[in-house]
Amino acid sequence: MRYKFILLVFFAFWAVMITRLYHVSIKSNFYYEGLAKENIERKQFIKPVRGEIFDANGKLLAMNQIGFSVSIAPHLKSKSEQLDKVIDKLIETFPDLNKTVMLKVYKKHNSPYNHTYIKVVDFIHYADMMGAYPKLSLVPNLKIEAETKRYYPYGKFSAHIVGYTGRSNKKENKKDPVVDEVGKVGKSGLERYYNKVLEGELGYKIYKVTATNKAIEILEKEEPKDNKNITLNIDIDLQKMIYDRFGEHTGVAIVMRTNGEILSAVSYPSYDPNLFVGSISSKDWKALQSDLAHPFTNKFIHGTYPPGSSIKMGMALAFSKAQPSVLDTSEHCVGFITLGSGKHKFRCWSRWGHGTVGLRRAIRESCDVYFYNKSLKVGIDAMAKNLRTFGLGVKTGVDLPKEYAGVIPDKAWKRKRFNQPWYKGETVISAIGQGFDLVTPLQVARYTGMLATSNLAVPHMAKMIDGKEIKPELKHIDFDSYYLGEIRKGMYDVCNIRGGTAFRTMSHLPIIVAGKTGTSQVTSIPQSTKKRLKESELAYFHRSHAWLTTYAPYDNPKIVVTMLVEHGGHGGSTAGPMVADIYKWLFNHGYFKEETLPSEMIDSNNSK
C-alpha cells in the first residue's frame, strides 16, 4: 500500500512538471510571439469611399466632395511650444479655423495609449488646400490626408428622400466597424436605410514598424470595397417642379407608377440637408424646430392624417368583402341620419341631401349618408379588417426608415387604447374617413394603385442597388369585378363628368384621369351650427385638409398622383390645379401617350 502511494506521488509530481514545462516553453511562446508581433507590426484601415445616389436620369443627388483633413501627432503637451507652433501655422494659413476648438479636440483624444495622429480639421476643400499644401507638408507633427465630404446638390428638393449623413455616436460606432473607422453614418432617409450598402467595406494595410512606430515596409494590403452606388426611380426635375408648385401651401405630393416605383415624393416645406453634414448650428436647429410648417418632418411617411372621403372607394370594397350583396341596394340621402331615438344628426356634406344614391354616384358626388347606412349594416370590425388588407393603417414597406403605420380602428383597438367600448356613432364617422382614422399619404397612393390595378404594390425609392435591379413586389387582391368596375367609373366621373367633385380642374387634360377628392376635418362642427362656414372663413389651423388621389390613364393605369394640402379646404379646388399641372408635366415629358375616351363612359351622366 505504501509502495502504491509513493508511485502516485511520483507520477503526480512529474505530471505537474510536464504541464508547467508545456506552458513555459510552448503555450507562452505563442503569447509572447503575439506581443512581439504587435511591437513590429501595425494595421492601418483604409476607409472606403461612400457610394453616391443618382436619380433615374443619372443626376447626382448625394455626392462626395474631394478635400483634405488635417491631423496632429499625438503625445504633444497641451501647452507646449511644439503644439502651439502647429496650431498657429494652421491659423495663419486658414484664418477661419478656430484655435480653441482644435486644441479642445486634440486634448480630448491625446493620451499615452494613443499612437495615431489626431484629426483636428475634418475637411478643407481641394481648391483651398492646393496652394497651402507645399508649405504645410513641411511642418513637423502635421499630417494632411485626402478626405471626402458629403454634399447634396439639390438640397431641399430631395432632403426627405435622400436624407443626410452626420457624425456617428458611440452606440453607432460599436455596432458597425466601418462607421467606427469613418466616423460618419447615415442619419435619415436613404442615407440611413441603405447605410450598409453605401458605406462599403474597409480595406487595410499591415506595416512593419520600428521601435519608434515608423513604418518601414508594407507586409499585406487589402483594398476597400467602395463606390457602391444607388440609382433611384425619382425624377429630380419632376420633384423640383412639384416643390415649387406648392407656393404658399404646405403638404405632400406623391407620384408613383402602379408597380410601386416612386417617381416623386414631396414633403413641403423642406430643409437643406447640407446643414447637417458635420454638425448643425444651434441657431439653424432652433429655426427648424420652431417652424410651425414642420419642414423637418417627412410628411409622406411620418405625417398621419384623417383620409376623409378618399377612403370611400376602399370602404365600399370592404363592405362588399364583408357582405357581398350589401352594395346592390341604393340609399336615400336627406342630408343626415340619426341613430335610434337619438337627436344627434350625422350630416352629409350636402345639407339638402342627394336623394336616391347608388354606388357609382356615391363615389362621384361623395355622398356621406350612403356610407353611413352601409357601415351600420357591416360593422366596424369587418370594415377595419378589410381596409388593412388594402394597405390602409399598415406600413407600406417603403425603403425609408421609421415609417409610421397610422390607425384604422376597430373595437379591440379602442379597448386597448382607451379602455372604452365602441359606439355606433364611431362606426358612422369612420366610414367617411374621420374619427380615429389616420393614414399616411404614401398609404393612400399605394391603395389608389390597388384600386386601379387590383395589385397592392410595395413602394420603392431605389431602382438599382450596387448594380442590382430592384424588382417590383405586387400582391394581387381579388374583388367582385362588377363592384370594382362601378367604383372605377365613379372615380372617372369625379374628374370628367359635371357634378364630379374634381371636374373643373381635371376634365381638360391630355390624358383621362380617374380620382377622388377628400376633405378631412381637423375640428368638429357643433350640432348647433345650421350652416357651415366656408373653409376660407375659418382660422387657418381650423380649415380641413384637402385630398385628391388619382390614377391615369383611366383604361390603362400607369401612374398614381396623390396630393394632400394641409388646411387647404376642398380637394377639388385646392389640390386639383396642382395635380392637373403634374399630369401636364408628365404628359409633356413622355410619361404618357395621348388617350381616347373609353366607349364604356358613354351616357355616364345618367348613371346612379
Least confident stretch, 79-83, 183-187, 197-201, 483-487: 79-83
Q: Given this model, what pLDDT does residue 542 score?
A: 61
Look at residue 34 and tell me whether its pLDDT is greater than 60.
Answer: no
Look at residue 605 and tell me whether its pLDDT is greater than 50.
Answer: no
Q: What is the CATH number of the domain that holds 196?
A: 3.90.1310.10
* C-beta atoms surrounding 447 within 10 Å: 26
Least confident stretch, 102-111, 224-233, 387-396: 102-111
Task: Calculate the dihedral angle through the C-alpha atoms of 130, 133, 134, 136, rounding to the nearest 10 degrees.
Answer: 160
pTM of the predicted model as reported, rounded to 2 decimal places: 0.85
Mean pLDDT of 267-294: 89
- Looking at the fold, whether 202 and 161 belong to one and the same domain comes out as yes
C-alpha cell read off for 158 = 430631395
Say how far apart CA 175 and CA 133 lie, in whole Å: 36
Q: What is the number of domains present in the chain? A: 3
The answer as to whether 469 is a domain residue is: yes
Q: Phi and psi at residue 267, in whole multiples of 5°? A: -110, 115
The answer as to whether 572 is a domain residue is: yes
Give Cα 224 to chain centroid, integer Å: 29
C-alpha cell read off for 146 = 485626402
Sign of the CA dihedral running 96, 99, 101, 106: positive
Q: Cβ-count burial of 380 within 10 angstroms (0-12 exposed, 13-18 middle, 19+ buried)? A: buried
Say how far apart CA 324 and CA 318 lie, in whole Å: 9
- Looking at the fold, whether 115 and 220 belong to one and the same domain comes out as no
- Tell me the pLDDT band of 604, cut-offs 50, 70 and 90: very low
The answer as to whether 21 is a domain residue is: no
The answer as to whether 7 is a domain residue is: no
pLDDT tens digits, one per residue of 442-463: 999 999 999 999 999 999 999 9
C-alpha cell read off for 509 = 387634360
Which is nearest to 583 in space by CA: 242, 112, 193?
242
Residue 277 or residue 195, greater confidence = 195
Give, to the nearest 10 degrees, the angle between helix 380-389 and helix 312-322: 110
Which is nearest to 254 in space by CA: 161, 120, 350, 379?
161
Look at residue 600 and tell me whether its pLDDT is greater than 60.
Answer: no
Which is nearest to 547 in space by CA: 500, 485, 501, 512?
501
Q: Given this model, what pLDDT does residue 9 score?
A: 72
> For residue 362, what is the DSSP state?
H
Where b means 16+ CB within 10 Å and e means fewer, 136-151 reads beebeebbbeebbbbe
The answer as to whether 16 is a domain residue is: no
The answer as to whether 448 is a domain residue is: yes
pLDDT tens digits, one per residue of 563-596: 999 987 776 788 999 999 999 999 999 998 755 4
pLDDT tens digits, one per residue of 129-160: 888 888 888 888 888 888 888 999 999 999 99
In sequence order, what are the beta bridge partners of 232? 462
Say how far apart CA 600 and CA 489 lie, in whole Å: 9
The answer as to whether 33 is a domain residue is: no
- Looking at the fold, whether 472 and 399 belong to one and the same domain comes out as yes
Q: Phi and psi at residue 358, in whole multiples of 5°? A: -95, 180
- Looking at the fold, whether 419 and 309 belong to one and the same domain comes out as yes
- Looking at the fold, whether 559 and 433 belong to one and the same domain comes out as yes
The answer as to whether 8 is a domain residue is: no
Q: Which domain holds residue 317?
A: 236-272+300-606
- Tell me the pLDDT band of 120, cut-offs 50, 70 and 90: confident
- Looking at the fold, whether 308 and 167 belong to one and the same domain comes out as no
**What whole-number percentage of the chain has pLDDT above 90?**
57
Least confident stretch, 21-30, 250-259, 550-559: 21-30
**Greatest alpha-carbon span in the chain:** 119
Residue 576 or residue 43, greater confidence = 576
- Looking at the fold, whether 423 and 516 belong to one and the same domain comes out as yes
The 3 state secondary structure assigned to 305-322 is: ECCHHHHHHHHHHHHHHH
Instruction: Confirm if 54 and 232 have CB atoms less than 8 A apart.
Output: yes
- Tell me the pLDDT band of 236, cut-offs 50, 70 and 90: very high
pLDDT tens digits, one per residue of 67-112: 888 998 888 887 778 888 888 888 988 998 888 888 888 888 888 8
Q: Indicate the helix (H) or strand (E) that contains 80.
A: none
- Looking at the fold, whether 220 and 364 belong to one and the same domain comes out as no
Look at residue 537 and tell me whether its pLDDT is greater than 70.
Answer: no
Helix (H, G, I), strand (E, B) or coil at 531: coil
- Looking at the fold, whether 259 and 115 belong to one and the same domain comes out as no
Q: What is the CATH number of the domain that holds 398?
A: 3.40.710.10
The 3 state secondary structure assigned to 125-174 is: EHHHHHCCHHHHCCCCCEEEEEEEEEECCCHHHCHHHHCEEEECCHHHHH
pLDDT tens digits, one per residue of 323-372: 999 999 999 999 989 998 888 889 898 888 999 999 999 999 999 999 99
Question: In the Cβ-directed half-sphere of 22, how many Cα atoms lie within 13 Å?
Answer: 6
Look at residue 27 and tell me whether its pLDDT is greater than 60.
Answer: no
| Strongest mean pLDDT among 212-221, 351-360, 407-416 | 407-416
Q: Look at strands 142-151 and 60-72 and give their pairing.
A: antiparallel
- Looking at the fold, whether 436 and 542 belong to one and the same domain comes out as yes
